[in-house]
Amino acid sequence: MSYLRPLGVAFPLLLSACLTKATPPHAAPVVDSVSMPATASIGADGLYDLNGTISFHGDNVAVSTIHVSSAALGADYRINGTGAVKAVNAQLTVNFPANNPIGTSGAYDISVIDDSGMESTPVSETVTLQ
């Protein structure tokens, strides 16, 4: 039964490796600010359009995606970013489906995702559709 000895040593090490939570190599990116209008109208593209700005920074890892979500307004999509580690007042256009009735108000979240897949804490905004 000498063949069980290596397994007896390796198994606790393997179990320990599986149960140890890995520490991320860097911190998640941070949305520093979002400046968006409080109202949106249907644009030429047939969607409710909001044009504003976003500022964010990452931990030496490029931000590749901006995530917009709103259960109230029926939106959950991602916008390709420029790959910057930091942005200050970068232009941002957010769209919501035109099937939302005029006068609808709803909250939406904006977060950023870096190249490693880490996502920031969302920033919540509210818009009224006109």
- How much is the pLDDT for 23? 54
- Other beta carbons within 10 Å of 77: 11
Predicted local confidence at residue 46, as pLDDT: 95
Rounded Cα distance, 88 and 49, in Å: 21
Supply the pLDDT for residue 81. 85
pLDDT at res. 76: 97
Class (C level, CATH) for 25-129: mainly beta
Instruction: With a cut of 50, list the residues of the chain below it in pLDDT.
Output: 1-22
Residue from 76, 90, 82 nearest 114 by CA: 82
d(CA 130, CA 121): 29
- State if pTM tops 0.95: no
C-alpha closest to that of 36 among 65, 64, 66: 66
